[in-house]
Structure 1
Amino acid sequence: MKRIQFDRYGEASEMYMGDYELPQLKSNEVKIKVRAAAINPLDWKQRKGALKLFMSNRFPKGIGNDFSGIVEAVGKEVNNVRIGDEVFGTMDVKHPGAFAEALITPAGYISKKPSQISFSEASCLPIPCATAWAALFIKGNISKRSRVLINGCMGAVGAMAVQLARSKGAFVAGTCSENDMERAKDLGLNAVFNYADKNYWKNIKPFDLVFDTSGLMEPAIGFSMLNPKGKFVDINPTPKRMLRGLFSGKYRMTFATAGMSHLTEFADIAVKESLKAGIAKEIGFSEAIDIITKIEKGEKVKGRVVIRF
């Protein structure tokens, strides 16, 4: 089979389309014929070596995490899906490889795909929804009476956070660029602010949760927007940000892994609330390396990019 892979950590030029033989299926794993795979920033962070302490030492390594497809084989302990099921899910962070004709992943990292959503839409759910869920409901503990601010509301995680919080009835405000403000309103935000306006936050009623999806908000500013029991959730922690935050008592950090056990709930919400995946472009497998390279280098795309197989 073909997959996009790399032989050493480094820049985009390390990626190539190569032949690869899947390992023997373990008892808790599932083999999937890939139908769609969504591109995430995590993909090139892994290839650059940012997470190499958590990844295996073997090369070549695959690239890509979120996918949808059809189950081709199941391990003897797997009971949540059967051969022929349409599913969506993600890879173990230690073993990426969704940009491939087929893959193997633990059964706990997949869920059945609702028939009402496409393979492309389903592939856009796992990491953004899991990250948003962890921030909103595990760390933020929000409810329908909560006031929430999403900094970076038009990114993949931010857009899902807006929709998940609104699905629970929360008041949700968001920040984005001026060019994205009209699109942001379509997500159902109660208020939208231009993040270039440095004073937008000074006359706002305090929030119960400020969720910084971009890593660009100064924690001190985030803390100033909170009510006395409010929380600031960070998904891009650095030693400096963590040090500043931990002394405040309001700082929390989280990652997608904390919310990945809720894939079935994401599927239900995607159908009942019509979650918008925000797909900007669907591309063929042969185009993937070129498009990933362009996005990684800063090419602006107003929405998600999905590889179709």
Structure 2
Amino acid sequence: MKRVQYDRYGGPTRMYIGESKLPQLGPKQVRVVVSAAAINPFDWKLRQGAMKLFINRKFPKGMGTDFAGVVAAVGSDVRDINVDDEVFGTMDFKESGAFAEEVVLDSHLVAKKPASLSFPEAACLPIPVMTAWAAIFDKAKTSQGSHLFINGCTGAVGASAVQLALARGVKVSGACGTASLETAKAAGVDSVFSYTDRRLQAQKGKFDAVFDTLGTLDVGHGLSMLKKGGVFVDINPTLRRVARGMFSRRYKLAFATMGIKRLSAIADLASEGVLRPTVGLVVPFADAVSAITAIESGTRIPGKVVLSL
């Protein structure tokens, strides 16, 4: 089986397409033939060693977390997934390897693919939507009538947060790049600012929650934007940001893994048209290394880049 893998932690030059043997199927696992796999920043952060303290030291390691495909086999204890089901899902970060021809993973990490979505579209759902859900609902506790500010409201996580929030009657304001202002307005963002807009400095005490998807909003400024009892949610926990936020109970961290239990709900919302993933570019699996390298190096694509197998 071919997959994108790396032989040590480091930069893009450590990646290559190599041969790997699938693990034996466990009783609570499924084997999926991958049709599409979406590229997330989290994937190269893992390769760079961001979570190496929590992962075994065995190399080579596979890359990739989010995917969609067709179930080829199920373990003896799996009841809700069947062979030939079309599914989407996410790999446990300790066992990454979705940029591959096939994957084996626990059945709770997959959900049935909405018939209305293509495989590339479904592959775009897990990490961005799980992260957004954990941030705005589980941590920020937003609900109908809340006012939410999203820094990076047109990125994959930000756009997912906008869609989820609006579906629950949450009022959304946000910031994005100048080129994306109209996109944000069309998505339903009420007040949109460019990152360099000086009016952002005046947005104090206005929001029930602030969600920084990029890690570029100063923590102190983000906290100042909150109403009394509001929450600032961060998904980019650098030591400096955490040190600044730890002195306030209003500073919260959110991670995609907190939203894994929402996969079936995410599938339902996608079926209903609430969640509309945007595929920016579909790349053949043979070009995976160059595609990942380009995005990691700063090439900007409106929408997710997806590998096609």
- Sort the TM-score into its range (normalised by shorter chain): over 0.9
Written as runs of structure 1 = structure 2, the 5 A alignment for 1:212-223 is 212-223=212-223
Partner of 1:198: 198
Question: 1:115-139: per-residue Cα shift (whole Å, max 9, x none)?
Answer: 1111111100000000000001100
Report the secondary structure of 1:94's partner residue: helix
Partner of 1:74: 74
Written as runs of structure 1 = structure 2, the 5 A alignment for 1:1-309 is 1-203=1-203, 206-309=206-309
Report the secondary structure of 2:32's partner residue: strand
Alpha-carbon distance in structure 2 between the residues aligned to 1:287 and 1:242: 37
- Give the AA of the match of 1:106: D
Report the secondary structure of 1:199's partner residue: helix
Alpha-carbon distance in structure 2 between the residues aligned to 1:249 and 1:289: 42
Alpha-carbon distance in structure 2 between the residues aligned to 1:88 and 1:191: 34
Report the secondary structure of 1:53's partner residue: helix
Question: 1:169-228: per-residue Cα shift (whole Å, max 9, x none)?
Answer: 100011001111111222221121111113324156611000000011111111111110
- Give the AA of the match of 1:44: W
Report the secondary structure of 1:23's partner residue: coil
Q: How many residues matched?
A: 309
Alpha-carbon distance in structure 1 between the residues aligned to 2:31 and 2:140: 35
The answer to whether the 8 A contact 2:149-2:210 is kept is yes
Q: CA RMSD in A?
A: 1.2
Report the secondary structure of 1:9's partner residue: coil
The answer to whether the 8 A contact 1:212-1:235 is kept is yes
- Give the AA of the match of 1:85: D
Report the secondary structure of 2:183's partner residue: helix
The answer to whether the 8 A contact 1:56-1:95 is kept is no
Alpha-carbon distance in structure 1 between the residues aligned to 2:66 and 2:269: 18
- Alpha-carbon offset, residue 59 of structure 1: 1.2
Alpha-carbon distance in structure 2 between the residues aligned to 1:16 and 1:212: 33
Alpha-carbon distance in structure 2 between the residues aligned to 1:244 and 1:205: 19
The answer to whether the 8 A contact 2:205-2:224 is kept is no
- Give the AA of the match of 1:138: D
Report the secondary structure of 1:67's partner residue: strand
Alpha-carbon distance in structure 2 between the residues aligned to 1:274 and 1:162: 10
- Alpha-carbon offset, residue 274 of structure 1: 4.0
Alpha-carbon distance in structure 1 between the residues aligned to 2:205 and 2:228: 12
- Give the AA of the match of 1:262: R
Report the secondary structure of 2:130's partner residue: helix
Alpha-carbon distance in structure 2 between the residues aligned to 1:106 and 1:179: 40
Report the secondary structure of 1:186's partner residue: helix
Alpha-carbon distance in structure 2 between the residues aligned to 1:56 and 1:186: 45
Alpha-carbon distance in structure 2 between the residues aligned to 1:29 and 1:52: 25
Report the secondary structure of 1:130's partner residue: helix
Deviates more, 1:225-234 or 1:49-58: 49-58
- Alpha-carbon offset, residue 265 of structure 1: 0.7
- Alpha-carbon offset, residue 52 of structure 1: 0.9
Question: 1:278-299: per-residue Cα shift (whole Å, max 9, x none)?
Answer: 2110111011111110111111
- Give the AA of the match of 1:94: K
- Alpha-carbon offset, residue 239 of structure 1: 2.2
Alpha-carbon distance in structure 2 between the residues aligned to 1:210 and 1:223: 8
Alpha-carbon distance in structure 2 between the residues aligned to 1:29 and 1:122: 20
What's the TM-score, normalizing by structure 2?
A: 0.97
- Give the AA of the match of 1:10: G
- Give the AA of the match of 1:88: F
Deviates more, 1:65-74 or 1:243-252: 243-252
- Give the AA of the match of 2:124: C
Deviates more, 1:4-13 or 1:225-234: 4-13
The answer to whether the 8 A contact 2:127-2:256 is kept is yes
